[in-house]
Structure 1
Amino acid sequence: MTAREAADPVHDWVPLLVPDMPSPQTLMPWLERMHAARHYSNFGPLVKELEERFSLGFGVPLEQLTTVANATLGLELVLQALDLPKGSHVLVPAFTFVATATAVVRAGHVPVLADVDPDCWMLTPSIARSACHATRIDAVIPVATFGMPHDMFAWQQFEQETGLPVVIDAAAAYGSQSLQGAQCTLVFSLHATKSLPAGEGGLVISTRPGLAARVRQLSNFGINLDPDAGMPVGALADIGSNAKMSEYHAAIALASLQVWEDHARQRRALQAEFMAELDESSGHRLVWQAQGAGGALMAPSLLCARLHNQAARQALEHRCQQGRIMVRRWYQPLLQQMPALASVVKVLDTCHADELAATLLGMPFFLGMTQAQRKLIQLAVSTSKKDLA
């Protein structure tokens, strides 16, 4: 490589993701407010303001939501707050990020791995019903895969029919997944790579009476802060954890909220344009995630393509490697193939998830992608066209 090429960003690796975090200059007013208040954690004024904005945005009262340090702890504390018996069987999709399953294990339960829909790549109420006929199920954690929203009325109906609590792992779905007027529980991530980035953080929303309040208490070690609770304020009411959102992360989230609508529009436009470009480059041989019954993806943060077979994926990976383009096999290997999980999960039929694991490839996708970067990816796809058939 020549010195000129080394200095040319076109010849750098095309990154898989670039976090859409606020600049230090944008953050400064929020940080100055935090410092003036001398309140840095423990449900400070910025966390309170952020929760008030979430309350308005989701159309729920404040008592039905709480922030947490991250979505993984949010899932763990929701499972604890549900008071499931230890060793309960919790249905999760085999095709998901490991944190969905590890949260179940850390809460003292058994993940039961189910299949996903071959088109929208999600655990659906229909699949969950089949799982209930096949084995004992005590709760369900569907995942909003790559941010695609679920039909909450369908899951509400499932809850009513079965009596099983449903908790949506909506980690990647802020802005896409809503309550939709249904009775349900949602857990969002505010990680740096998500559509509303706070660096780290999470949000729990639940219409289940008292659940969000209990998660809030558990996130503060389990300490009682309610003077009307029948025990002294500061007494330990339950065995909790330290899972509070800090004022620093609330400041970042508030700054991110200022531009969220505009950036969500940009993400949708980029996704539509880039998918069309890659369709043309591949001869329309790439398969994309289909919209589920819950509606459209409003703020995409990842772009995954499904190839015809495993060999086609390997060929495209090779071309991307040659072109200095980062790609990733998201959610792979499947949960049951992870050594740390293999002995603690129960596995149902996962034929569609197995096929996804053999053919899915995550492509670069981030705001600020240059035309040069997009052209490099198109070239890699185009030169792989004969292998994609």
Structure 2
Amino acid sequence: MTVRPVALPPVKVPLARPNLSALERSYVQQALEDGWISGTGGVVSRFEDGLSSRVGRRHTIAVANGTLALELALRALGVGPGDEVIVPAFTFAAPATTVLAVGAVPVLVDIDPETWTISPQAVRAALTRRTKAVIAVDVLGHPADYDALRGLGVPVIQDAAEAHGARYRGGPVGGQGDASVFSFHANKAITTGEGGSVGTDSDELASMMRLVANHGMTPKNPYVHEVVGRNYRMTSLTASLGLGQLDRWDELIEARRDVARRYTERVDASVYAPRPAASWADYSCWLHTVTTTVERRPAVLDHLRSRGIDARAVWPPLHEQPVLAPYATDCPVARDIALRAFWLPTYAGMPDTDIDLVADALAEAADRK
């Protein structure tokens, strides 16, 4: 007998969608008309300069995606075989797998229950003579405690992939690490479809990253390869989208915050608690995240999907990922949050009717018990 899979209803409310306007289209059209669409040229430089200005960095290097941005930062810092890099256990897998990609060892540590970001105390306990860097993830838009991390004496790579528009102790997120990474994937608040960047205030680091990102050669010496490099470059078409998004930065960030505020007004916090936040942080909304009990979450998600709502459980903790099994450590806070938290659909311009649909479905799920 053939078992047929149960068909899910069509998605009425997607988890995320990009918010693109005529402005972005005009920038892309101009690039097409100019005929300069590769990863070199003035459009990419304009995007880099605009991002540097926005987050207060001296240098920004635009690349093809956020994962390559992490790899570029690690390589510029000289991380390689035999080195250790400390990574939080609660995040998307890219920070840890990128450490593996450069031949180093990811050291997984637990997170702080107040911020859900890497615990400085856990980092301190994990330091060894082989520690070459720490990757601090501004998880779900909340910055890590960089003051505490900088006092540990090792380079800090800031993974701000989900934190466009957040603020750390009054300053814009993206300027705190020795190197700071953004992603511009389609589900991010600021998007170029794919794309990423690395920012730094170090002339030396910036020079090395530009060298590695361009096949190990400089514009002054084309076809003379000084180091082993690769093509990490962002295309001009991608950067053209980014220019429009940069122009609309405040509008897009505020639109997602407005979605989070409306969820907070509509959703019962005694059943679905919103993520916590530290008093010193102004976190941005990537995907509005709530928690419930471990026992309740599967039924809630099933009910939302039955209503055509693309809500999703957050990532499994890194220490339970098969690819990272050899590096698994006990991270109870990360595991607890990973079992209870889930994302609600969130995007700029999300209509009130969709937010009402999600909130009503959550209330129905709570009543079903």
TM-score of the two chains, using structure 1 as the length reference: 0.85
Is 1:204–2:204 an aligned residue pair? no
Instruction: Give the deviation of 1:386 after TM superposition.
Output: 5.0
Instruction: Give the deviation of 1:173 after TM superposition.
Output: 1.1
State the alpha-carbon separation in 2 of the partners of residues 22 and 65 from structure 1.
Answer: 23
Paired residue for 1:142, among 119, 136, 142?
136
Contact map agreement 1:66 1:203 (CA 8 A) in 2: yes
Match of 2:246 in 1: 257
Match of 2:209 in 1: 215
Contact map agreement 2:85 2:107 (CA 8 A) in 1: yes
Instruction: Give the deviation of 1:351 after TM superposition.
Output: 0.5
Q: Bigger shift: 317-326 or 108-117? A: 317-326
Output one character per residue of 1:218-245: Cα deviation in whole Å (capped at 9) or x when no partner.
Answer: 11111233x4xxxx44211111111101
Give the counterpart letter for 2:234 in structure 1. M
Task: Look up the SS of the partner of 1:142 in the other structure.
Answer: strand
Is 1:338–2:321 an aligned residue pair? yes
Specify which structure has the higher proportion of strand. 2
* Alpha-carbon distance change, 241 to 126 in structure 1, aligned in 2, over 3 angstroms: same
State the alpha-carbon separation in 2 of the partners of residues 224 and 209 from structure 1.
Answer: 15
Match of 1:7 in 2: none
Output one character per residue of 1:307-337: Cα deviation in whole Å (capped at 9) or x when no partner.
Answer: 1x211112212321332222211212x2232
Instruction: Give the deviation of 1:14 after TM superposition.
Output: 3.4
State the alpha-carbon separation in 2 of the partners of residues 102 and 293 from structure 1.
Answer: 32
State the alpha-carbon separation in 1 of the partners of residues 201 and 286 from structure 2.
Answer: 27
Contact map agreement 2:56 2:175 (CA 8 A) in 1: no
Question: Structure 2 unaligned runs (5+)?
Answer: 1-8
State the alpha-carbon separation in 1 of the partners of residues 108 and 357 from structure 2.
Answer: 38
Match of 1:33 in 2: 30
Question: Structure 1 unaligned runs (5+)?
Answer: 1-10
Match of 1:245 in 2: 234
Give the counterpart letter for 2:295 in structure 1. A
- Over the matched positions of the two proteins, sequence identity in percent amounts to 29
Provide the aligned length of Structure 1 versus Structure 2.
357
Task: Look up the SS of the partner of 1:203 in the other structure.
Answer: strand
* Alpha-carbon distance change, 16 to 352 in structure 1, aligned in 2, over 3 angstroms: farther
Instruction: Give the deviation of 1:274 after TM superposition.
Output: 1.0
* Alpha-carbon distance change, 347 to 137 in structure 1, aligned in 2, over 3 angstroms: farther
Specify which structure has the higher proportion of helix. 1
The correspondence of residues 1-389 of structure 1 with structure 2, limited to 5 A, is 12-23=10-21, 25-61=22-58, 64-132=59-127, 137-158=131-152, 162=153, 164-176=154-166, 178=172, 184-225=178-219, 227=220, 232-279=221-268, 284-292=270-278, 295-298=281-284, 300-307=285-292, 309-332=293-316, 334-343=317-326, 346-385=327-366
Task: Look up the SS of the partner of 2:182 in the other structure.
Answer: strand
Task: Look up the SS of the partner of 1:237 in the other structure.
Answer: coil
Task: Look up the SS of the partner of 1:191 in the other structure.
Answer: coil
TM-score of the two chains, using structure 2 as the length reference: 0.89
Instruction: Give the deviation of 1:91 after TM superposition.
Output: 0.8
Contact map agreement 1:183 1:207 (CA 8 A) in 2: no
* Alpha-carbon distance change, 213 to 273 in structure 1, aligned in 2, over 3 angstroms: same
Task: Look up the SS of the partner of 1:384 in the other structure.
Answer: helix
> For the aligned residues, what is the CA RMSD?
2.3
